[in-house]
Chain A
């Protein structure tokens, strides 16, 4: 084995990020590291590259124990890393980036001619014939990524860690990078490949290791791996486990409220069609990085669509910015409640009134009595547990904060409400209440897009579920087909034994 990790442990206050994890990497192997949010992938990599100090366990490289203190030291010992984004400097030339820190010198000064020559030499095995004197930033992301790989290999030369290297590449560019990775495998490097794209994992890797909640779940040869089994390992949920008491689904056709046609953004989500009915809950399912959140953000104009259009029964909708989307009657409860949702220092009342006031314009303040009435009304209707409406929202529990943010949007009376992971990090009781609330709202005629990583939640509340994989809408399940098994099969994709 080229690299052997034994019982690697890393603890952060309150959580065990890595719990006695074992991991092996052979020379000439591409080994995928998979896991959902909080599985411990990035912690493992940071321990390997010296960004974190481990609390326990051993790392053995080429028969010698190593304990890198920094990324630079890890590089010198033979472990190079290429990240999704921050790798190299776009303001320096390709040659400067490749040779940074080991520039050839003559009489103490950098020898530009030798620098260019060595840079070209470094790139030659990658079949990349580019002008090394141009700024790196003037090349496409794929070429930048290959230059980053070339630099990492030139510096370290034993282990190459690719941390979601394809996350912002299109299909042709992915092929280009994969050819390079395969070439390196031939040359005998050990490659750790982290990706959310299952098709890429099956396409490229020799073995797969799945982490979940800081533990190693399984290591298997990719060729012998069943896709559905893999999803089960990642999500920690067995397929036969079905949820009783699904929402009674009415097959009756609903009047359609919104239509999205060819809606997409390059490198984020491939164009998709979607019709949302009046009073319908549409679920978005998929693994982390499959384009769930990105689809939601696109519909709300956070990252506006580049192609396609959205329309209602009357006219085209302008969804070019959140402000425009709000004017069209859209609402959006983001995933990151703490950073994107609440203003922690402001009171519950102020947080609830925020959206309404923003729409009216700051020049026309809502009278205080009116504010109090609205706040009290929603505190009662949504059962927000608080000692009063003037309490800073940061002091509430997660579930109650979430209800207050919901109240902010409900006060604006949207026709289409997008909920991104509305139940993440809240307790079981509040969880049930929010799902009940969703049902009530749709009965009143509101349409809802529910983005969730919890399949049970989608099965329980959605009328229809769209499944995303590798940034594409790959399946649409409705009626009796909205079951955990069907959703998991669609997420796994590929040839699945029924």
Chain B
């Protein structure tokens, strides 16, 4: 068995165990309603985490995504309020914009040989600032098409609702899996994360790959922004502060090595759902403060970092 896949199995086992514990205490938690809500409530996080997974696999990081989601919401809300464009047109505009934004950051990271941390930190302030400039207040979205999107769902057995945005999230994860595991671009991303110098020797076009990775992350952040605006029905420049960090946490809990080169897209989905499950448990319990979510996530993160370090040691000692 590949030691590389162990964190993924660990994540899956932890998720199933946690679900089992929750179920023992609250049997209702194992219903399609709860599962439907889990997908809906975490749709925007799941989508942005797919982009983040690819970035982290390449050995980088993207701090701008939280701000880009907020910017997206405000951008959509303001354009829909000011013009008569159809939301689908606005979506296309927005996705082009955020993809280009990501590509520009990727270009700078590669060309200036700057740490991704700094470049995307600048991007984070830039996107958040632009959102403020568009509107400081929360802007409601009243377009009738939005009503359609918000009420679109498939009824699952047990009366759970599989909403449109939940489906979008699942499809995005699927697309992410294909990109990461089934394309030469994906192979280049893993190669870069494994070692830049070696990757170059093996023929990876580093500049192009880096740019595409951040463009992909920008695209995912834009899509996540659309989903978030459907979820909340408004655009607000103060929304999703710190979401980039939550996404990074989901990626790491999902078993991806923070230093890059190892991990699975599917693990990220499990990571997102694990975090959502903790939140759900707290809602079910009713007496716990929601801050417990943060504490449990913190502990989980620590456990996973230790697990990865341990696995690394294990694989090295086997070689020596």
Contact = CB atoms under 8 A, between A and B. Distances in A.
B315 interface: yes
A71 B201 contact: yes
Given A86-B198, A89-B191, A110 B4 contact: no
Interface stretch (A53-61, A133-141, A214-222, A351-359): A133-141
Q: How large is the interface on B (under 10, 10 to 19, 20 to 34, 35 or more residues)?
A: 20 to 34
Contacts of A63: none
A401 interface: no
B202 interface: yes
Contacts, number: 70
B23 to A, nearest CB: 35
Interface stretch (A96-104, A372-380, A436-444): A96-104
B2 interface: yes
A91 interface: yes
Interface string B197-209: 1111111100000
A110 B184 contact: yes
Nearest to B181: A110
Nearest to B197: A86
A89 B199 CA distance: 7
A21 interface: no
B173 to A, nearest CB: 17
B194 interface: yes
A196 B70 CA distance: 60
A88 interface: yes
Interface in A72-106: 72, 75, 86-93, 96-97, 100-101, 103, 105
Nearest to B182: A109
Contacts of A103: 184, 187
A100 B202 contact: yes
Interface residues of A, number: 28
Nearest to A131: B2
A138 B200 CA distance: 22
A391 B261 CA distance: 46
Q: Interface centre among B181, B190, B201, by most A CB within 10 Å?
A: B201
A86 B4 contact: no
A162 B48 CA distance: 45
B310 interface: no
A96 B194 contact: no
Contacts of A137: 315, 319
A69 B59 CA distance: 27
Contacts of A105: 184
Contacts of B195: 86, 89
B202 A88 contact: yes
B53 to A, nearest CB: 15
Interface of A: 71-72, 75, 86-93, 96-97, 100-101, 103, 105, 108-110, 112, 133-135, 137-138, 140-141
8 nearest A-B residue pairs (beta carbon): A89-B194, A91-B261, A91-B194, A109-B182, A72-B203, A101-B203, A86-B198, A91-B262
Given A91-B193, A91-B194, A101-B202, 5 more contacts: A101-B184, A101-B203, A110-B184, A137-B319, A140-B319
